[in-house]
Structure 1
Amino acid sequence: MSELLVDFITSLDGHASGEGWPGFWGLEGPEYLAWLGEQPEATHLMGANTYRLMSGFAAGEVPSGQDEFRPEEEASVEELTQASKVVFSSSLAEPLTWANSTLVRDDAVEAVRAMKSSGSGLLSTIGSLSLCRSLLRAGLVDRFRVVMFPVITGATGAERIYDGYPDVALEMTEHRTFDGRIQLVEYKPRVLEHPPLGAPA
C-alpha cells in the first residue's frame, strides 16, 4: 500500500508564498538543499493551478519579479520534470506538455484512495492547497510535513495554507533544523470530529 505525504514549505505565519519573495523565500542553505537531494523517489500529486505554475517554470517562464532563475530554483524544477506526476483537473486539456505528467479527471479523493490501495511507492503532494485539504479531510494523509522558513509575510503573504482546514490532532514523528534557521516538523495527522471540550454550540 502506498503512503501519502502532504508536504508544505511555509513562512512562519503559514503562507505558501509571498509577493516579491523568491523561491524558498531566498533563505535556503546548503544543509536544506542537501536534504532535498536525498529525498526518496515519489509520485507527485497536484491540481491544475500548481501544474500551470510549475510547468510554466519548466518551460522557461521566470518567476514574477525575477530576471532569471536562481540555480536552486532551476535544480528544483529540473528534478520535478524528471519525476512522475499526477495532475487532477477537469479544465486542463490533454496531452499535458510537461514531461512525465498524467492527467486524471476523476474525483481526486477517490483516485488517490485507489492509488494508495493498489500502489507501493510514496505519493507526495506539491503545492495544491485545495487538493491537500480534501485529502486530509478524507483521512487519506499518512504524513504531514511542514518546512518553516524564518520570515513573517504579514504584508505580502499569499495562499494561507490552513484556511478551511478541519481541526486536526498531530502526533510528531520527526523534527530537525537546517542551516541554523529552517525548521522541519513532520506529523501523523488525525482529523477530529470535534475539539476536546465538545462540539461548538
Structure 2
Amino acid sequence: MRKIVLMMSMSLDGYSEGPDREIDWHRVDDELHRHFNDVLMEMGAFLSGRVTYELMADHWPTADADPQASAPVAEFARIWRNMPKVVFSRTLKHAGWHTTVVRDVVVEDILALKAQDGGDLALGGAGLTAEFLRHGLVDEFRVYVHPVLAGRGKRLFPEADGLTCLRLKDTRRFGNGVVLLHYERDAAGGR
C-alpha cells in the first residue's frame, strides 16, 4: 500500500510560511533542490490544498523555459508538470497539468487512493496537512528545518488533542544548513 508522505519546509521555530505567506526565507539551493527532485520523481502523485497548488501553478509550468533556470529547477518543472496531482478545494472549479480537484478530505477516498498501484503520495500545504493529521492519514514526515527563526506566520503543525508518536527513519544535513528530519508513524506508540 502506498504511503502518504508529508514533505514540507519549516523554520526552526515551526513556521511553514511567514505572516504574509512569504517563503523567501526557505534556503533552497541546487543541492537541496536535487534532493527534492530525487525524492519527488519517485512519488505517485502530489496532494495539496488550493493555495499551495495555485502557488505552484503560477510558477512551475514554464519555469524550465527561463534561460537562467538552473538544471535542478528545470528538472523540477518537468516533474511537476507531468506528475498526477490532487488538489483539495471547495472553490477551485478546474485545474490543469494532470490535476484532479477534490472538494473534501474523505477518509475512505484517501484510503482507496493509497490502495492504488504506484509510488507514494507527497502531501504539501499546512492547511491540508492539518486535515490529514486530524484523520491520522500521514504515514511519514519529511520535515526540512531551515536555519531561521521566522517569528510568526503559519505553523506547520496545528494544535492537537492527542499525542502522535513517531519513529526516526533518517536525518540529513545539507550544506546550506537545512536539516531533514525523516520520521514514520510509530503504530505501537498511539494515534
- Fold equivalence (TM over 0.5): yes
User: Conserved in 1, the CA contact under 8 Å of 2:142 and 2:180?
Assistant: yes
**Shift of residue 58, structure 1, vs aligned partner:** 3.9
**Shift of residue 52, structure 1, vs aligned partner:** 2.3
Of 163, 171, 184, which residue of structure 1 is paired with 2:167?
171
Is it true that 1:159 corresponds to 2:159 in the alignment? Answer: no
Which residue is equivalent to 2:109?
111
* Whole-Å separation in 2 of the counterparts to 1:121 and 1:79: 14
**Shift of residue 176, structure 1, vs aligned partner:** 0.9
Which residue is equivalent to 1:51?
53
My pick for the range that moved more, 177-186 or 132-141, is: 132-141
**Shift of residue 33, structure 1, vs aligned partner:** 2.3
Structure 2 unaligned spans of 5+:
none
User: Conserved in 1, the CA contact under 8 Å of 2:107 and 2:135?
Assistant: yes
Compared CA separation, residues 53 and 158, structure 1 to 2 (3 A) = same
**Shift of residue 112, structure 1, vs aligned partner:** 1.3
Structure 1 unaligned spans of 5+:
61-67, 194-201
**Shift of residue 167, structure 1, vs aligned partner:** 2.5
Q: Which letter maps to 1:160?
A: R
My pick for the range that moved more, 159-168 or 14-23, is: 14-23
Which residue is equivalent to 1:86?
86
* Structure with a larger share of its residues in strand: 1
User: Conserved in 2, the CA contact under 8 Å of 1:175 and 1:184?
Assistant: yes
Q: Which letter maps to 2:147?
A: P
**Shift of residue 174, structure 1, vs aligned partner:** 0.8
User: Conserved in 1, the CA contact under 8 Å of 2:27 and 2:176?
Assistant: no
Of 112, 130, 144, which residue of structure 2 is paired with 1:147?
144
Q: Which letter maps to 2:141?
A: F
**Shift of residue 22, structure 1, vs aligned partner:** 5.1
Give the TM-score taking structure 1 as reference length.
0.75
Aligned identity (percent) is: 28
User: Conserved in 2, the CA contact under 8 Å of 1:30 and 1:179?
Assistant: no
* Whole-Å separation in 1 of the counterparts to 2:128 and 2:83: 19
Q: Which letter maps to 1:110?
A: E
Q: Which has the larger radius of gyration?
A: 1
Which residue is equivalent to 1:5?
5
Which residue is equivalent to 2:97?
99
CA deviation map 1:27-86 (0-9, x unaligned): 2333322212322233000112222222223467xxxxxxx9x84695445532232101
* Whole-Å separation in 2 of the counterparts to 1:52 and 1:108: 22
* Structure with a larger share of its residues in helix: 2
Give the TM-score taking structure 2 as reference length.
0.79
CA deviation map 1:139-172 (0-9, x unaligned): 2221111001101011xx4211122334321210
Compared CA separation, residues 55 and 180, structure 1 to 2 (3 A) = closer
User: Conserved in 1, the CA contact under 8 Å of 2:105 and 2:131?
Assistant: no
